[in-house]
Amino acid sequence: MPNDVRALLSSTPGLPPHPHAPRNAAGFGADTYNVDAMRDTLPRPVFERLLATIEKGERLDSKIADEVAHGMKEWAVARGATHFTHWFHPLNGQSAEKHDAFFTLTGDGEPILRFSGSQLIQAEPDASSFPSGGMRSTFEARGYTAWDPTSPAFLVRHERGATLCVPTVFLSWRGETLDQKTPLLRSMEDVNRAACRVLKLLKRPAGRVHTTMGTEQEYFLVDRKHFDARPDLVVAGRTVLGAVPAKGQQMEDHYFGAIPERVVAFMEEVDQAAWALGIPVKTRHNEVAPHQYEIAPIFEDVNRAADHNMLLMEVMRRVASRRGFACLLHEKPFAGVNGSGKHNNWSLATDDGRNLLDPGSDPAGNAQFLLFASAVIQAVHRHGDLLRAGVAHAGNDHRLGANEAPPAIVSVYLGEALSEIFESIAAGKAGDIASKTEVGLGMSRLPQIAKDNTDRNRTSPFAFTGNKFEFRAVGSSQAIQMPNVYVNAAVAESLDDVADRLEKRLKTKQDPMAAALAVAGEVYKEHRAVVFNGDGYTAEWVKDAAKRGLPNLKDTPAALAVLADPVAKGLLVSHKIFLEHEVDARYLIQLETFIRTVEIEASVMLRMVDTGVLPAAFGQQEALARSVAAAQAAGLKSPAQGKLLAEYAAGVDEILARRAALDVALAKAKKGHPPAPEHARAICDDVRPAMAALRAACDAIESKTDAARWPFPTYHQMLFQ
């Protein structure tokens, strides 16, 4: 094993124990190797040493690996498992697994079931075909997966058995990060270090500070037969063609409405599978668009939340397929109605249960809260462009800035009451603050800040919502690791700055809470430009944001370019989350993913036009021509029919012209290989507009074509049947 792998294993950050309920609580965690399962299957000394690694971040003792592996295997086999796999998240945005059977043969040829400590701790999957951004040649196949003991192993059930999945990191032979989990673990440790430093200065120390996450997941369900008949949904996850139906979401009658019985059955099966896997899903409801829904969990440590979200998406897809649905996780599967996001509810919590972004009820707690909140404001102001890069991908381009999704300009929403408090302390007038709740006078004369003292702003990309910040710009299909890596890195840097300022004030014997309040006001004053409580959809805000110096990165190529910027790269490298060439590699991977995604969309669009739209249109045109000819042969004068035929024929000609234009634009863009920024720019500036023009022409023809002749399920069928 390379030294970098050993170092990662020995420095895995400690996390709180995985939430687990009593065994009679609806089977929650029954398919996870959680604390109860460990206690039941491991010798007590082994259990306690493993628990110390999970809870306190102590070095993983390799001497106990064989006993842990044996206990894990016994637990899994008793529940029907026949295979095990290291489960990891490569840079293609998906999860990956290679199954190995527990079955093996002894030297005497006797069959046994075996799972060793070395198999648990490390595996060597072929890494050659995963994205690497040029960090390795395709003939260099060696890569390592290494056990992450802080995220519990779990069972994935199949028709005839189950597979034991062991969450792991994924590194190259040289120790370079090839996955999403490794940088997340590093960023979590960085936040822990910086936050503990601040708390120590405030005389309110903590053993550890954990980044917590509650990830709301939006999605669409469509009938499987409609999905299978739409090549664009099958290949690209979104409809590249489709006329808007007479009714969409304009009646506002779907949101929080009664859930259809068939959908409830789907949701109940998802809930049961999720609970067995230890995923604490709690909320389910209709979303705004027809056939759009949401599922949301209870808060967890962000590492487990990320693993659970990846697992939940797979559970939803599998259950949907079994129940005759297709689960659409794309950010914008249907034009003209709401897209889907993955609201990223981010906060900080100590190991003794304190939420550092909960205002609390005492003045000292208020001061601490304001200090940490000001650090987040500073982080977003300094690195809003990096946060934007964290949510940049082809699907999200269709969603950001429309139908309740936040705009591409990253700002912070605080609400009037909290903004007023920050403005007052920035002006040195903390004692003059009047809150909508009771004023709790104390040393700093701060009011009690009720956690519901702010409204919700659905147009804000980064909104304070009572005891957390909601990063609303994250897309529904994407893995949440990297958006949180960037948030964590930016906040860690900001907390270090806050700690430096505190140290200077405390050297003058200033009271810690008074110093915290002063620093919070100082930081807010410097970074208040990022705070915006208004409507993020207006043209006025775009102009105002430009005056404030806030970047407006409107599309994926513009946003991803931030990863080449020395400031963003310096943040990630200096905080030891990435090496410099690893940042460069991720930039190239994401750029290529964007390019390939749009090329696939354009290609499937051309194929649908050639094999479906045009044949249907030619058939309709022929039928119209026969009708006009028959009328003329009968001596009937029907100029209206003649006009209809001419207009329809002109529409078909428009499709042919727009189709040719897209073909040219796509061929020209493909000459840009290997992928480069100018290639991505051509995709944005030439291919996408050509696709939009072709779609408009096709959708116009769809609206005039016999429904029985149209080759693809329509929006009306997909959204209302």
Mean local confidence (pLDDT), 388-402: 89
Mean local confidence (pLDDT), 263-272: 96
pLDDT at 11: 33
Q: What domains are there in the chain, each with its CATH number?
A: 3-179 (3.10.20.70), 187-214+350-578 (no CATH), 217-240+250-340 (3.30.590.10), 590-720 (1.20.120.1560)
Q: Which of the two residues, 57 and 573, has the higher pLDDT score?
A: 573
Q: Which of 48-52, 202-206, 492-496 has the lowest mean pLDDT?
A: 48-52
Contact 462, 484 (CB under 8 A): no
Q: Which of 4-13, 569-578, 635-644 has the lowest mean pLDDT?
A: 4-13
Mean local confidence (pLDDT), 617-630: 95
pLDDT at 247: 78
pLDDT band per the 50, 70, 90 thresholds, residue 108: confident
The full 3-state SS of 365-431, as one line of letters, equals: HHHHHHHHHHHHHHHHHHHHHHHHHHCCCHHHHCCCCCCCCCCCECCEECCHHHHHHHHHHHCCCHH
pLDDT band per the 50, 70, 90 thresholds, residue 142: low
pLDDT at 676: 83
What is the distance between the alpha carbons of residues 308 and 281, in angstroms, rounded to a whole number? Answer: 10
Contact 450, 152 (CB under 8 A): no
3-state secondary structure of 144: strand
pLDDT band per the 50, 70, 90 thresholds, residue 437: very low
Mean local confidence (pLDDT), 631-637: 86
Other beta carbons less than 10 A from residue 130's beta carbon: 20
pLDDT at 471: 95
Asked if residue 20 has pLDDT above 70, the reply is no
Q: What is the DSSP code string of 222-259? A: EEHHHHHT-HHHHHHSS-SS-PPPS-SSTT--STT-PP
Look at residues 9, 32, 96 and name the one whose alpha carbon lies nearest to residue 300. 32
Half-sphere exposure of 417 (CA within 13 A, CB side): 21
List, for residues 155-168, the tens digit of each pLDDT value.
999 988 999 999 99
Contact 133, 580 (CB under 8 A): no
Contact 349, 356 (CB under 8 A): yes
Q: What is the mean pLDDT of the chain?
A: 88
Mean local confidence (pLDDT), 170-187: 89
Asked if residue 107 has pLDDT above 80, the reply is no
List, for residues 357-387, the tens digit of each pLDDT value.
998 766 556 899 999 999 999 999 999 999 9
Q: Which of 21-30, 270-279, 634-643 has the lowest mean pLDDT?
A: 21-30
Contact 328, 391 (CB under 8 A): no
pLDDT band per the 50, 70, 90 thresholds, residue 485: very high
Contact 145, 168 (CB under 8 A): yes
pLDDT at 128: 63
Q: Which of the two residues, 682 and 58, has the higher pLDDT score?
A: 682
pLDDT at 450: 52
- Counting residues of the chain whose pLDDT is more than 70, the rounded percentage is 88
Asked if residue 104 has pLDDT above 90, the reply is no
Q: Which two tokens stand for residue 335?
A: 């034009």
Q: Which two tokens stand for residue 359?
A: 């205002």
What is the distance between the alpha carbons of residues 99 and 121, in angstroms, rounded to a whole number? Answer: 15
pLDDT at 138: 56
The full 3-state SS of 504-571, as one line of letters, equals: HHHCCCCCHHHHHHHHHHHHHHHHHHHECCCCCCCHHHHHHHHHHCCCECCCHHHHHHHHHCHHHHHH
- Counting residues of the chain whose pLDDT is more than 90, the rounded percentage is 69
Look at residues 312, 309, 287, 299 and name the one whose alpha carbon lies nearest to residue 219. 287
Q: Which two tokens stand for residue 611?
A: 């094999």
Q: Which of the two residues, 424 and 659, has the higher pLDDT score?
A: 659
Distances (CA, A) of 464 to 306, 358, 416, 471, 603: 21, 10, 11, 9, 42
pLDDT band per the 50, 70, 90 thresholds, residue 19: very low
Strand-pair category, 412-413 with 462-464: parallel
pLDDT band per the 50, 70, 90 thresholds, residue 223: very high
pLDDT at 10: 33
pLDDT at 362: 60
pLDDT at 483: 97
List, for residues 443-453, the tens digit of each pLDDT value.
344 455 554 55
pLDDT at 251: 66
Mean local confidence (pLDDT), 592-601: 95
Mean local confidence (pLDDT), 674-686: 89
pLDDT at 567: 96
pTM score:
0.90
Q: How far apart are the first and last CA of the chain?
A: 55
pLDDT at 17: 38
